[in-house]
Amino acid sequence: MNIPNAFVVAILVGGFVAAQPANAATIDRTYQDQGGPACQLSMPTTSSQVRPRATGMRNEGTASEFVICQFPSNGTPFFRASITIVRIDENNHDVQCTAVNGTQLSGIQYSTRTATTGTDGTPNSITWDRAWGDFPSPYQNGPTDRFSQPALSVTCILPPGAAIQGVYGSYHDDVGQ
């Protein structure tokens, strides 16, 4: 092979190697927050007995109240979200929560779940997971393991004697190669 041909081959091989797509590395990260600061009354009122405490967003009153919990995002959609509920009295309570994903512009998806606080004081979780078919992806040939949008909140009907102890959201973080 003469020198000009070797030079052309070297440039072609170098260009081919340089043009290979980079495989991004991702790791799973979890956002978590305590229920007190992460949640608030849906309709604030001075007569409500729902209070943010160090142990969670607690309903210390006698009537059920709507509470909304936010899941702040860095722009990456969550693939799993959950809230932890617990009783603060001696009774078992059903807590119904609706996860809302998306915005008016992107389209809104809803998923409602109910769980019990139990009577032994052990926290219980209400979880939404992309792998379970929650919030099907609107993307074609795109992300299939995450909620469709990074905008996510959960609204619960919090009965008296129950508390939201924590909120958790898992997402994939692109960390490069």
Does 123 reside within a domain?
yes
Q: Is residue 8 part of a domain?
A: no
> Residue 170 falls within a domain, yes or no?
yes
The CATH number given to whatever domain includes residue 109 is 2.60.120.260
Over residues 151-177, the pLDDT tens digits come to 889 999 999 999 999 999 998 888 876
Domain residues for the domain of 166 are 25-176
Taken in order 128, 133, 134, 139, is the CA torsion positive or negative? positive
- What would the pLDDT profile of 129-152 be if each residue is shown by its tens digit? 887 777 655 443 344 444 567 788
CB 90, CB 107: distance < 8 Å: no
Task: Answer whether residue 10 is part of any domain.
Answer: no
Residue 39 lies in a domain: yes
Alpha carbon 119 to chain centroid, angstroms: 27
Show pLDDT as tens, one digit a residue, over the chain (177 residues). Answer: 566 555 545 555 555 445 555 566 888 888 899 998 999 998 887 778 999 998 899 999 999 999 999 998 888 888 899 999 999 999 999 999 999 988 887 778 889 999 999 888 889 999 998 877 776 554 433 444 445 677 889 999 999 999 999 999 998 888 876
The values of phi and psi at residue 83, to 5°, are -125, 150
pLDDT for residue 106: 74
What residues are paired with 101 via a beta bridge? Answer: 109, 152
pTM of the shown model: 0.77
Select from 81, 89, 98 the least CA-distant residue to 120: 89
Q: Tell me if 153 is assigned to some domain.
A: yes
Tell me whether residue 100 is in a domain. yes
Residue 17 in domain: no
Collapse the DSSP code of 133 into the 3-class scheme (helix H, G, I; strand E, B; otherwise coil) and give the result: coil
Q: Give the number of domains in the chain.
A: 1
Return the closest-CA partner of residue 71 out of 164, 161, 139. 164
